[in-house]
Amino acid sequence: MSLTRPMGFSCPYCMAPNDVEVDEVNDVNQTQVLDCQICCQPIELTVTGSGDDLQVMAEREND
């Protein structure tokens, strides 16, 4: 059984759709920085919620 779940979000710079694997146990209430898969700008991702109600918030880094 996998503890990760594929989730999508839009890049806050270029609005392109991006995908990320979210660990339902370790990623909740954590912020991580990753680059957009299209424009390579740094994005701060925060995972909130629990169970089936997980949400990914994407913001520009240093805003």
Q: Is-contact 12 60, C-beta < 8 A?
A: yes
The verdict on pTM exceeding 0.95 is no
Per-residue pLDDT at 6: 93
For every one of its 63 residues, what pLDDT tens digit does the chain have, with 9 covering 90 and above? 567 899 999 999 999 999 999 988 889 999 999 999 999 999 999 999 987 889 999 999 987
For residue 1, count CB atoms less than 10 angstroms from its CB and return exposed for 0-12, middle for 13-18, buried for 19 or more: exposed
| Residue recorded with tokens 């918030």 | 57
